[in-house]
Amino acid sequence: MNITLSAPEETVRLVRSWAEGNHTSLNRFIREKLEEKARDIQAERDRKAEEFEAFFRTLPPVKMPPGWKFDREEANYRDMKCLHDPDPERGRP
């Protein structure tokens, strides 16, 4: 993919000069820095995903009564007392 980049002229001159002294180009230098940053971002995402999965592996399994089904009304119920006050008609824990 091609991109257009704006940078201060003196910065470009300085880095281009450094790149030439290190047998590379300004384009290659910028591409390598972008790739390095992309790898860092992906590694951080992978680490966070692993932490998330590891946390859920530590939780005990949830056991619901036979025949129990989650419904839309219940999913949108916002009253916190529902967590402590079972619904006797539905047999909820």
The pLDDT assigned to 83 comes to 55
| Per-residue model confidence (pLDDT) at position 78 | 67
pLDDT at position 61, please? 86
Nearest one of 28, 4, 3, 2 to 15, comparing CA atoms: 28
Phi and psi for 37 in degrees, rounded to 5? -65, -40
pLDDT of residue 77: 72
| Nearest of 25, 92, 30, 33 to residue 65 by alpha carbon | 92
User: Do residues 61 and 36 make contact, with C-beta atoms less than 8 angstroms apart?
Assistant: no
CA 73 to chain centre: 30
> Per-residue pLDDT tens for 31-85?
999 999 999 999 999 999 999 999 999 999 888 888 888 788 777 776 655 555 5
